[in-house]
Amino acid sequence: DVVMTQSPFSLPVTLGQPASISCRSSQSLVHSDGNTYLNWFQQRPGQSPRRLIYKVSNRDSGVPDRFSGSGSGTDFTLKISRVEAEDVGVYYCMQGTHWPPLTFGGGTKVEIK
């Protein structure tokens, strides 16, 4: 199974400041069809996960443009340009290239300083 490793585990951020979360996979996530199936999810306290980004850098409908995804191969990053109070929660990366199974990172908890 592909192992997804996220860092940091916890990320205290000042409101209005940027935040960056790293996600590394144990093998390249480039699929034979040319796509890279790397998604990012946000889970606010007490809520279901919500997908933010799919295939590395595509923002889902309704997701603020302060969220952006980048990366390639085995190294990926989710960036929040200016953190707002509503961004508090846990963020997960997930790979869907080498399945089964789909595998998730361990999560990064974003909190306000």
16 binds other proteins (CB under 8 A): no
Site for other proteins in 81-100 (CB under 8 A): 92, 94, 96, 99-100
Q: Which of residues 16, 32, 48, 86 is near other proteins by CB under 8 A?
A: 48
Report residue 27 CA to chain centroid gap. 17
Q: Which of residues 21, 41, 69, 78 is near other proteins by CB under 8 A?
A: 41
Write the burial class of residue 100 (CB in 10 Å: 0-12 exposed, 13-18 middle, 19+ buried). Answer: exposed
Residue whose CB is less far from other proteins, 50 or 66: 50
77 binds other proteins (CB under 8 A): no
| In the complex, minimum distance from the CB of residue 17 to other proteins, in angstroms, rounded to a whole number | 26
Considering only CA atoms, which of 73, 78, 6 is closest in space to residue 36? Answer: 73
Sign of CA pseudo-dihedral 102, 105, 56, 60: positive
